Amino acid sequence: MRYDVLLADADGTLFDFHAGERKALEETLTAFGMAVTDELAALYSRVNQSHWKKLERGETTQARLRVERFADYLAELDALAVPHEAATPEVMSERFVERLSMQRVPMRGAEAFLRKVHARMPVYLVTNGIARVQRGRFEASELRVYFTDILISEEIGHFKPDPYMLEEAMRRAGVTDKSRAVLLGDSVTADIGAAINAGVDSVLFTDGKPAPEDCGATCTVYTLEEAAAYILGE
């Protein structure tokens, strides 16, 4: 067998975060008198991504991120003259976090992938995210039985691409040989970057999209079925 432990990202890899985020955003905006459109959803995604990129670069904190993304979003809505009920970033953030913690849509093929890999090695979830959101989603998910442990950046105090979460997962798994660990993720900057920094192999999952050039991953796959075949050496 090629590896002894799988370090797996969550959102965009095993969980369809975009579907869950859209539903949580719809419920949040509706609560403040707004009708959700594709344009408003895309605007939120752009604002949100900009804050997560700042976090990856060490330019903000998770506590600031969860509120400041909504401060920027409300400013964008006001600039576009989008009518909405009065809301502070703090109140909107609280409503969104509550709704997001209930979303746990799996990626296509995620359960079959985990069932196959889990039978051969432990799977450690290593995820950037807000602990309240991630714990609520993962602990109630049908996929939870396949995870030996869940490591969340806000609880650990380190965010990918910092290698600490991966190193801590390997420590918990009792794996000291870095060549026996592999990371599976969908983000070149956060996931593959963390794997490179930790000195472990990595599999970039593109979900059918073209792989970026020079992404730094050990292997690139389009499906989770391909990921399982590579990780298990089949």
Report the pLDDT value the prediction gives residue 183, as an integer from 0 to 100. Answer: 98
Smallest CA-to-CA distance from 123 within 24, 3, 4, 6 is with: 6
Q: Give every CB contact of residue 232 below 8 A, 6+ residues apart in sequence.
A: 1, 2, 116, 117, 120
Report the pLDDT value the prediction gives residue 148, as an integer from 0 to 100. Answer: 98
Looking at the chain, the whole-number percentage of residues with pLDDT higher than 70 is: 100
Task: Please say which residue of 65, 81, 100 terminates a domain.
Answer: 100
The answer to whether residue 85 scores a pLDDT higher than 90 is no
Shared domain for 115 and 74, answered yes or no, is no
Between 133-137, 162-166, 222-226, the lowest mean confidence (pLDDT) is in 133-137
Q: Strand pairing partners for 152?
A: 127
Report the 10 Å Cβ neighbour count for 234: 9
Cα→Cα distances 37→6, 40, 76, 224, Å: 38, 5, 15, 31
Report the pLDDT value the prediction gives residue 149, as an integer from 0 to 100. Answer: 97
Shared domain for 118 and 201, answered yes or no, is yes
The per-residue pLDDT of the chain, averaged, comes to 93
Shared domain for 140 and 226, answered yes or no, is yes
Mean pLDDT over residues 53-71, rounded?
Answer: 90
What span, in angstroms and rounded, lies between the C-alpha atoms of 182 and 177?
Answer: 11
Shared domain for 83 and 141, answered yes or no, is no
Number of domains in the chain: 2
Report the pLDDT value the prediction gives residue 140, as an integer from 0 to 100. Answer: 87
Entry pTM: 0.82
Shared domain for 162 and 193, answered yes or no, is yes
For residue 148, give its domain range: 5-16+106-231
Shared domain for 126 and 11, answered yes or no, is yes
The answer to whether residue 127 scores a pLDDT higher than 90 is yes
- Kindly state the DSSP code that residue 109 receives in the 8-state scheme: T
Confidence of residue 21 (pLDDT cuts 50, 70, 90): confident
Confidence of residue 65 (pLDDT cuts 50, 70, 90): very high
Smallest CA-to-CA distance from 95 within 74, 116, 118, 121 is with: 74
Q: Respond yes or no on whether the N-terminal peptide bond of residue 161 is cis (omega within 30° of 0).
A: yes
Shared domain for 150 and 218, answered yes or no, is yes
Mean pLDDT over residues 91-108, rounded?
Answer: 89
**Per-residue pLDDT reduced to its tens digit, 137-193:** 898 899 999 999 999 999 999 999 999 999 999 999 999 999 999 999 999 999 999
Report the pLDDT value the prediction gives residue 234, as an integer from 0 to 100. Answer: 84
Task: Please say which residue of 73, 100, 127 terminates a domain.
Answer: 100
Task: Please say which residue of 77, 100, 123 terminates a domain.
Answer: 100
Mean pLDDT over residues 126-133, rounded?
Answer: 90
Residue 85 belongs to domain with CATH number: 1.10.150
Confidence of residue 213 (pLDDT cuts 50, 70, 90): confident
Shared domain for 12 and 22, answered yes or no, is no
Shared domain for 79 and 128, answered yes or no, is no
Shared domain for 74 and 40, answered yes or no, is yes
Shared domain for 164 and 204, answered yes or no, is yes
Report the pLDDT value the prediction gives residue 100, as an integer from 0 to 100. Answer: 86
Shared domain for 34 and 134, answered yes or no, is no
Tell me the two tokens of residue 151: 């490591």
The answer to whether residue 129 scores a pLDDT higher than 80 is yes
Residue 144 belongs to domain with CATH number: 3.40.50.1000
